[in-house]
Amino acid sequence: MSLKELFKNIAPFVKPYRWLVVATLVMTFIGSLAAQVNAVVLDRTVDAINNLLHADQFLWAKAARILIIISIVLLGKEVLAALITFGQRFYGEKMRILVSRDLAQSVIERMLTFRVAYFTRNGNEPGRLQTRIDRGVESLSNTVKNFFIDILPLGTSAILALILMYAANVYVGLVATCIVPIYFYITYRQAKKLKGWRRDMRANREAKSNGIMNIIESITVIKSFNRERIEGDKQLELQNRLTDNQMETRKLSFLFDGLKSFTEQIGTVLIIILTAYLVLSGYPGMTIGKIMYHVMLFSNVSAPIRQLHRIYDDMNDALIYAEGFFDILHADGEVEESGKYHPEKVEGHFVLKDVDFTYPNGNHALHDIDMDIKPGKITAFVGLSGAGKSTVINLLDKFYSPTSGSVTLDGVELKDWDTQWLRDNIGLVLQKNHIFDGSIEENIRYGNPDATHEQVLQAAKQAYIYDQVMALPNGFETKATLLSGGQQQRIAIARMFIKNPPIIFLDEPTASLDAVATEQIKNSLDAIKQGRTVIIISHSLSQIIDADEIFAMKNGHVEQSGDPDEVYRQGGIYKEIFDASARSLNIDKISHTLGMEDLEI
Ligand code: ADP
């Protein structure tokens, strides 16, 4: 990204605050005029005092007049400068904060529109995305402040000081003008040299944040395997890479900064030598006061230029982070697509034809899938782990689109459906449900923000969690994240009850529940299943045999389908899984315990 592109991208974020920019600019312009006062006053004072000292007769009245004028002008200027500095800083900072808020909000809102595939792609891990956004917002909002608030006044200061130099003496002005391009050239070289290092630094920072996040997320596993050392070493490697990079960047920066300082000092020396020579050779208008005057003016030229270069340097840094940030903001191809189809009533008849699907990371998860999922019936997906069952659900919920083939609901291609409407009509309960940071009531109400308190209680009762919640000291106000896995699962089921959709996908909904809860939930789910299209993925035989139809999957393909009993009689993968599940239940012993020795499979 070039600087020009950067500003084109930032401009819309600054536009709403243009009056703030104008006000700050006016203030800083006055400030830069005031900055020249010291040099002018010094020039005049030195000459006036000189004249007074060399006059035939020293007059205290004249001296006092000079001192009073100097005091009034300098103090007045300082008061004005203090007020202006306050205003400039305050409004400049206000703008930076507001722009930073807008940048962050826009990227979050943008990301919420992205398809699920975006978040599962390599390089878009949570820690990386977080760093990309945080760093992007920080460096972009600083750039805005630097550019709109600092650059213009600094530039004006430098030009004003240069004009004053030319006005005082053309040769001195020329020397100052010669130094500036050298300074610019060094900065340009510096930016070019640092670019690659900066890009590496960004990647390293993202990797480091992601590493930290992974450690926090897997802390129990790390500890249970005593892998603290290994995890520590992995982080150390990342840290070392980052440190090497930082050292190299700093080294280069210091080297170039030293060169720039040296150039500036050479400039000062040249100005001193030149003005001293001009005074000595009696050049018209050149007095001793002019030596000081020119040195001060030159520092008024070089100081803002030094600052400008610091800003330029910051901007080059910002460019690297801006790339990552605007990549997110402009990822139009990642926005979830939506059709217009929005029927009054959704029947729930899914048909998949010749569906092939490959995950963004290249994992070929489904091939040649044909399914006819009947409305108002219970369909079970059966298969070993990794067979592709959840992937089919991902396609039916439009989280991913098939690579080839077609998926229709009620005869209409899924891509033509209004995505929000489709999801309003689907209830999804996963094996591990996400519980948000909030109360139990808020988590249940997530299923229907308009639900009343009574409806929330009713849903909790249906999900068999009501009594347990009421037994907690804070009842429904308890933080939901503090509940056990099984309890959280029932909160997620209550969430679906309150949503009350005509289509329900259950992906191993009772996997983390105890036996009693499983039975309760099963009864509860049996009640909600009536008259709806239900797809259930389960390893629990009791739930599979209740299905009207099953699809037995293996390696991303449907091997068998039909009525469960019929499919069982065919043999094959379904029979294998069914028999293994039955054996794992140890039915012989169970029946013995129950006193039913005649129970056999
Ligand atoms: P099942 O639900 O039958 O256990 P899945 O549908 O979850 O199986 O997985 C099918 C295949 O797709 C597996 O090989 C799995 O590793 C892969 N897979 C699942 N989710 C993703 C993902 N987000 N990105 C890449 N591959 C995935």
Using a 10 angstrom Cβ sphere, with 0-12 exposed, 13-18 middle and 19 or more buried, the burial of residue 114 is middle
Tens of pLDDT, residue by residue over 472-527, are: 999 999 988 888 878 888 888 889 889 989 999 998 877 767 777 778 777 777 77
The pLDDT score that the predictor gives to residue 179 is: 86
Query: What region, left, alpha or beta, does residue 321 occupy, with left being phi > 0 and alpha being psi -120 to 50 degrees?
Result: alpha
For residue 79, which amino acid is it? V
Average pLDDT over residues 102-117: 93
The pLDDT score that the predictor gives to residue 251 is: 92
Q: Is the CB of 358 under 6 A from ligand 1?
A: no
Q: Contact, 478 vs 491, CB < 8 A?
A: no
Considering the entire predicted model, what is its pTM?
0.74
Name beta bridge partners: 382.
552
Q: How far is the CA of 120 from the centre of ligand 1 (A)?
A: 11
Average pLDDT over residues 100-129: 91
The pLDDT score that the predictor gives to residue 601 is: 46
Tens of pLDDT, residue by residue over 6-53, are: 889 999 999 999 998 888 888 877 887 887 788 788 888 888 888 888
Q: Is the CB of 390 under 6 A from ligand 1?
A: yes
Residue 401 sits at φ, ψ, to 5 deg, of -105, 145
* pLDDT at residue 214 greater than cutoff 70: yes
Name beta bridge partners: 504.
427, 534
- Flag whether 264 is in a domain: yes
Q: Is the CB of 124 under 6 A from ligand 1?
A: no
Name beta bridge partners: 542.
none
Task: Give 596's pLDDT tier (boundaries 50, 70, 90).
Answer: low
Residue closest via CA to ligand 1's atom 16 equals 386
Residue 399 sits at φ, ψ, to 5 deg, of -70, -30
CA distances (Å), origin 34, targets 66, 85, 308: 20, 11, 19
- Domain end point (choices 471, 500, 529): 500
Instruction: Tell whether 44 and 113 lie within a shared domain.
Output: yes
Q: How far is the CA of 399 from the centre of ligand 1 (A)?
A: 13
Instruction: Tell whether 240 and 138 lie within a shared domain.
Output: yes
Average pLDDT over residues 87-95: 87
Instruction: Tell whether 193 and 74 lie within a shared domain.
Output: yes
For residue 42, which amino acid is it? L
Give dist(CA 126, CA 120) in Å, integer. 9
**Which has more pLDDT, 364 or 34?**
364
Q: Is the CB of 122 under 6 A from ligand 1?
A: no
Give dist(CA 526, CA 493) in Å, integer. 13
Q: Which of 44-48, 55-59, 125-129, 359-363 is predicted least confidently?
A: 55-59
Instruction: Tell whether 12 and 111 lie within a shared domain.
Output: yes
Residue closest via CA to ligand 1's atom 19 equals 391
Instruction: Tell whether 246 and 207 lie within a shared domain.
Output: yes
* pLDDT at residue 429 greater than cutoff 80: yes
* pLDDT at residue 296 greater than cutoff 60: yes
pLDDT above 70: percentage of residues in the chain: 99
Tens of pLDDT, residue by residue over 183-208, are: 888 888 888 888 888 888 888 888 88
For residue 286, which amino acid is it? M
Q: Contact, 175 vs 168, CB < 8 A?
A: no
Q: Contact, 511 vs 539, CB < 8 A?
A: yes
Helices 37-54, 60-112: axis angle to 10 degrees equals 170
Q: What is the mean pLDDT of the chain?
A: 87
Average pLDDT over residues 282-295: 80
Q: Is the CB of 382 under 6 A from ligand 1?
A: no
Instruction: Tell whether 415 and 445 lie within a shared domain.
Output: no
Tens of pLDDT, residue by residue over 438-476, are: 899 999 999 898 999 999 999 999 888 899 999 999 999
Tens of pLDDT, residue by residue over 221-271, are: 888 888 899 999 999 999 999 999 999 989 998 999 899 889 988 988 998
Q: Is the CB of 385 under 6 A from ligand 1?
A: yes
Q: Is the CB of 388 under 6 A from ligand 1?
A: yes
Question: Taking the CA atoms of the chain, what radius of gyration do you get in angstroms?
Answer: 37
Residue closest via CA to ligand 1's atom 6 equals 388
- Flag whether 581 is in a domain: yes
Residue closest via CA to ligand 1's atom 20 equals 391
Give dist(CA 204, CA 243) in Å, integer. 10
- Flag whether 340 is in a domain: no
Instruction: Tell whether 412 and 559 lie within a shared domain.
Output: yes
Compute the Cα dihedral for 45, 46, 48, 53 and give only its sign: positive
Residue closest via CA to ligand 1's atom 8 equals 386
The pLDDT score that the predictor gives to residue 49 is: 85
Q: How far is the CA of 507 from the centre of ligand 1 (A)?
A: 13
- Flag whether 246 is in a domain: yes
Q: Is the CB of 361 under 6 A from ligand 1?
A: yes
Name beta bridge partners: 534.
378, 504
pLDDT above 90: percentage of residues in the chain: 34
Q: Is the CB of 383 under 6 A from ligand 1?
A: yes
- Flag whether 180 is in a domain: yes
Enclosing domain of residue 402: 345-425+505-601
The pLDDT score that the predictor gives to residue 509 is: 79
- Domain end point (choices 312, 333, 354): 333
Render 508-533 in DSSP notation, one character per residue.
Answer: STTTTS-HHHHHHHHHHHHHHHTTSE
Q: How far is the CA of 567 from the centre of ligand 1 (A)?
A: 25
Q: How far is the CA of 391 from the centre of ligand 1 (A)?
A: 6
* pLDDT at residue 131 greater than cutoff 60: yes
Containing H/E element for 404?
strand 404-409
- Domain end point (choices 333, 356, 389): 333
Containing H/E element for 104?
helix 60-112
| CATH number of the domain where residue 478 is located | 3.40.50.300
Q: Which of 300-304, 330-334, 351-355 is predicted least confidently?
A: 300-304
Name beta bridge partners: 561.
551
Residue closest via CA to ligand 1's atom 21 equals 359
Instruction: Tell whether 122 and 223 lie within a shared domain.
Output: yes
Average pLDDT over residues 141-168: 81
- Flag whether 339 is in a domain: no
Q: Contact, 322 vs 132, CB < 8 A?
A: no
Using a 10 angstrom Cβ sphere, with 0-12 exposed, 13-18 middle and 19 or more buried, the burial of residue 26 is middle
| CATH number of the domain where residue 245 is located | 1.20.1560.10
Q: Which of 282-286, 350-354, 405-409, 561-565 is predicted least confidently?
A: 282-286
Render 543-571 in DSSP notation, one character per residue.
Answer: HHTT-SEEEEEETTEEEEEE-HHHHHHH-
Give dist(CA 115, CA 354) in Å, integer. 23
Angle 123-129-134 from CA coordinates, rounded to 5°: 145
Name beta bridge partners: 378.
534
| Count of Cβ atoms closer than 10 Å to residue 523 Cβ | 11
Strand ranges inside 272-377, DSSP E:
350-358, 364-373
Q: How far out from the chain centre does Cα 482 lie?
A: 27
Q: Is the CB of 391 under 6 A from ligand 1?
A: yes
Average pLDDT over residues 344-354: 94
Instruction: Tell whether 117 and 229 lie within a shared domain.
Output: yes
- Flag whether 249 is in a domain: yes
The pLDDT score that the predictor gives to residue 33 is: 80
Instruction: Tell whether 471 and 511 lie within a shared domain.
Output: no
Tens of pLDDT, residue by residue over 365-402, are: 999 999 999 999 999 999 988 999 999 999 999 999 99
Instruction: Tell whether 417 and 544 lie within a shared domain.
Output: yes
The pLDDT score that the predictor gives to residue 598 is: 55
- Flag whether 316 is in a domain: yes
Instruction: Tell whether 554 and 496 lie within a shared domain.
Output: no
The pLDDT score that the predictor gives to residue 375 is: 93
Give dist(CA 105, CA 108) in Å, integer. 5
- Structurally, how many domains does the chain consist of? 3
Q: Contact, 119 vs 110, CB < 8 A?
A: no
Q: How far is the CA of 382 from the centre of ligand 1 (A)?
A: 14
